[in-house]
Amino acid sequence: MVDLKSQYHNIKTDVDAAIQEVLDSTVFVKGGKVEAFRKHFANYLNVKHVIPVGNGTDALMISLMALGLKPGDEVIAPSFTFVATAEVVALLGLKLVLVDVDPDTFCISLQEVENAITENTKVIIPVHLFGQNADMESILRVAREHNLYVVEDACQSIGSHYTFSNGAKFHSGCMGDIGCTSFFPSKNLGCYGDGGAIFTNNDELAEKIQSIANHGMKTRYHYERVGVNSRLDTIQAAILDIKLSHLDSYIASRVAASRYYHEHLKEIDWLRLPIVGTQTTHSYHQFTVIVDNYNRNDLQAYLKDRAIPTMVYYPKPLHLQDAYRTEECKELPVSEFLSEKVLSLPMHTELDEEQLAYIVETIKSFPASINQ
């Protein structure tokens, strides 16, 4: 699914030297490397504030903590996503309102968001799933109409863009009140352990977020609010600073692999290839197809027997999970359909044409007979 070994090999000299520098400095927490990466990443994203934190889940939690919400305030999130998006809402005693996703883009459905808004709604969390941005122009319009915060889950979408109808172009995660990302090793910009970051253009929120991530501290040993301890390790920051300079070429490799898949799989009438929204680019964190008519699990087993790894993201939507099931939300048909039909093909920065050719030829050879 991912080939982090070859990717590391290609930047080994720089990465090893950067790690050695941290070891020699013995500055393992904070320090110049974290500050340098923070600055470079803010420049790259063209956003005013980047606050590095311990992981993507912390980024989401700290963002919600900064919004001054009360227990019972409602947060709308898609059911078809990674659990972290919902988990932090529940952990903070907020009311999680799971809604369905768009059948084409797999991102949160605007119609479903509008239907779910009540007088207690305070936040919408669009998840830019698999690497493309949700319908942000409409979501931000609805949020403005109802006076809601928008916290973007950009854990899978760093490196993609969104263009508003007035021509303004933004990086993923930099359009709402707050954006969150993860540097988990397999993400678009991955470190060699855990890491994450929060983005905002709002000075007041940035200050709160910074303080919450650092125990709620105002000045040394003076605490103005309850916080947590969440920071990006110096070694991870040093690695990320190097990988950031390769990020655009990493995204280009993913897009090139996606083109190959599109080109060579488009004739297969039982596969539905990714559909990209009109205002967004796709960074192809995942290349996720819908297996129509045939059994998705049979195709997965067939590919596995031929040494092709695939993954099902996600086999069970959150509203059907024991931890998140509620009386109010029993059925979300699109999320349920997708959980039975989606399959993510190998997608990473080191896929070469020989591997891609083998994957598409093997998919084409999948015999209809075993599925009748």
Taking the complex as a whole, the smallest distance from the CB of residue 218 to ligand PLP amounts, in Å, to 27
Taking CB atoms, the residue at the shortest distance from ligand PLP is 56
| Closer to ligand PLP by Cβ: residue 195 or 227 | 195
| Closer to ligand PLP by Cβ: residue 38 or 366 | 38
Taking the complex as a whole, the smallest distance from the CB of residue 186 to ligand PLP amounts, in Å, to 8
| Closer to ligand PLP by Cβ: residue 100 or 265 | 100
Distance in angstroms (rounded) separating the CA atoms of residues 56 and 199: 12
Taking the complex as a whole, the smallest distance from the CB of residue 84 to ligand PLP amounts, in Å, to 4
Cis peptide before 8 (omega within 30 of 0): no
Structure tokens at 27: 């500055």
Structure tokens at 118: 């009540």
8 A C-beta contact, residue 174 and residue 164: no
Taking the complex as a whole, the smallest distance from the CB of residue 135 to ligand PLP amounts, in Å, to 17
DSSP string of 176-226? SSEEEEE--TTSSS--SS--EEEEES-HHHHHHHHHHHBTTEEETTEESS-
Instruction: State the DSSP code for 282.
Output: B
Residues at the contact surface with ligand PLP, assessed by CB under 6 A: 55-57, 81-82, 84-85, 127, 153, 155-156, 182, 184, 194, 196
Taking the complex as a whole, the smallest distance from the CB of residue 165 to ligand PLP amounts, in Å, to 26
Of 170, 134, 165, 130, which is closest to residue 150 (Cα–Cα)? 134
| Closer to ligand PLP by Cβ: residue 85 or 214 | 85
Taking the complex as a whole, the smallest distance from the CB of residue 85 to ligand PLP amounts, in Å, to 5
| Closer to ligand PLP by Cβ: residue 56 or 176 | 56
Taking the complex as a whole, the smallest distance from the CB of residue 249 to ligand PLP amounts, in Å, to 22
DSSP string of 63-126? HHHTTT--TT-EEEEESSS-THHHHHHHHTTPEEEEE-B-TTT-SBPHHHHHHH--TTEEEE--
For helices 32-45 and 4-25, the axis angle rounded to 10 degrees is 140
| Closer to ligand PLP by Cβ: residue 233 or 302 | 233
Distance in angstroms (rounded) separating the CA atoms of residues 309 and 332: 29
Taking the complex as a whole, the smallest distance from the CB of residue 47 to ligand PLP amounts, in Å, to 19
Burial of 8 (0-12, 13-18, 19+ CB in 10 A): middle
| Closer to ligand PLP by Cβ: residue 176 or 366 | 176
- Percentage helix, strand, coil, to 5, in the chain? 40, 20, 40
Distance in angstroms (rounded) separating the CA atoms of residues 245 and 253: 14
| Closer to ligand PLP by Cβ: residue 172 or 182 | 182
